[in-house]
Amino acid sequence: MKKLFIPICISLMSIFVLSSQAYAKELKTGDMAPSFELFNQHKEKISLISQRGHWVVLYFYPKNDTPGCTTEACSFRDNINKLIAQKAIILGVSVDDTLSHKAFSEKYKLPFSLLADVDGQVAKSYGAILDLQVIKFAKRHSFIIDPEGRIAKVYRDVNPREHVRIVMSDLKKLQKQNNTF
């Protein structure tokens, strides 16, 4: 009986994963970025429309204060001056609430907004949600959004250690192509 239990659990989890991905909209370069309004760790409402005219790096991550998420957030923090010089705004999004974001942000001195998508609707609109019915979290996906609000670059299955370096390089190329740097 025990030998059957593990394969059955794995099969059921696979069905949940596949079904959660089936309804996810697959955004691609050139698409308009889905609009949103979310609260950050300071309980300020941040909207995508208010970022028009700027390059936005919108990164989704699973959970505050976990190893990969901390690595990625601290890498954005450590490179924030370079990213600002590239005229980029960094926005992190997870399904954690504003209090969790505040504690995470203060602990690691993160100088950018962490947005609380507690119902996962924004992550879903970006195809970046994993909903297993009993637990829901954002997938580690990122998007560069151009000053007009279009998706300029999509990153799926991000490596937290390398991601920021790749984003900065791609941002530089995109800005040269668009003559906005």
Residues acting as catalytic residues: 69
Residue 180: exposed, middle, or buried by beta-carbon count in 10 A (0-12, 13-18, 19+)?
Answer: middle
How is residue 14 written in tokens? 């696979």
Query: Rounded to whole angstroms, what are the CA distances from 44 to 35, 37, 38?
Result: 17, 10, 8
Contacts (Cβ under 8 Å, ≥6 apart) of 139:
60, 62, 123, 128, 129, 130, 156
